[in-house]
Amino acid sequence: MPIEFADVPHPDEIARGDALRRHGLLLKPEGSLGKLEDLGAWIAACQGQSPPRPLKRMRVVVFAGDHGIAAKGVSAFQPAMTGQMLAALHDGGTALNVVADVAGAGLRVVDVAVDSDDEDEFKIRRGSGSIDSEDALTAEQAEAAVRVGMRVADAEVDAGADLLVPADLGVGVTTPSSTLVAALTGTEPVAVIGRGSGVDDNGWMRKCVVVRDALRRARPVLSDPVELLRAVGGADLAAMAGFLAQAAVRRTPVLIDGLPAAAAALVAEEFAPGARSWWLAAHRSTEPAQVLALDHLDLEPVLDLGIRLGTGAGASAALPLLSASVRLLSEMASFSQVSLPGPA
């Protein structure tokens, strides 16, 4: 059966307005908390109530996968690094483990395409194809990967998740991500290619050539998001796209991390128009393609810390701010409560 998403509901604008009005009554000059006020109002809109409930179950879901294009020298790391990073993530030794723990967020890892003998109930294949010369996936695998993301989103929401963060893990993932962004925004390769994992000038030029060749393969299938993921995406990116779209269908707010998540978000918006109203851009990456994707989605990043690491670390760094923005609305005193005159 073709992949179909239910209609995406709209966040509750009445609740958003009530939250912003409530800020005008709190013990502070009106508007003085800046973006924190907007963040809390966004959560109120997503929850459909003001003040919003405190965030109790924030979840980071890492979609891990290898990419055949990594063998073409587009990354500063060898493909085997994906498995090593996955092991470190399970052992608690990555930046994501630390930052998510500080934020109080739970972690889940979904191995959809790591090139290893490790088994996962959602594994689609071992690595995705080299997108400059072959399809990333078969049509059946592309559909299956999107459905994996949908199932994981449903499972997390059913378990009580009140905020989700999709994250990436895989050597070479910024290359198909850049290709998807270039294809869906009509941008030339040289304008989307960044340094990724830290490639030198030669690596950057190799990456440009690869994306140029992949774009030639992408353009004939631009009108079909599943076909686009099949041709130049990857199982991890397809799963993230399904996850993002389904989270919006399920009325659950999502923080967008770096370039791979932003690229998947562009595809997810094609799957489920209006889904972007349930997403917040956590931070501005150093990758130009991420900035292009966020601009295309009309999402303004909360943070700009110069982060180029993926794996959800940047989004996790924004979680405490989001939690604080919610609690301000429910716990901060108003002028009337302290018997002080309000604003003149």
Separate counts of helices (H) and strands (E) for the chain: 13, 5
Strands 106-113, 58-65: pairing is parallel
List helix spans (H) across 118-224.
139-158, 174-185, 189-192, 201-218
Asked whether 252 and 221 are in contact (CB, 8 A), the reply is no
| Token output for 100 | 């998510």
For residue 169, give the nearest of 75, 247, 250, 252 by alpha carbon.
75
| Nearest one of 177, 174, 156, 62 to 109, comparing CA atoms | 62
The alpha carbon of 62 is separated from its chain's Cα centroid by a whole number of angstroms, namely 10
Dihedral sign (CA 287, 291, 296, 301): positive
Radius of gyration of the chain (CA): 20
Distance, CA of 234 to CA of 213 (rounded, Å): 16
Structure tokens of 317?
Answer: 């760094």
Note if 82 is an active site residue: no
Residues in the chain: 344
* Strand 279-281 versus strand 254-256 pairing type: parallel
- Is residue 62 within 8 Å of 96, Cβ to Cβ? yes
Query: What CA–CA distance (Å, rounded) separates 66 from 325?
Result: 37
DSSP state of 219: G
CA distance 25 to 11: 23
Q: Which of 94, 187, 252, 311 is catalytic?
A: 311
Termini Cα distance of the chain: 61
Which residues are designated catalytic? Answer: 311
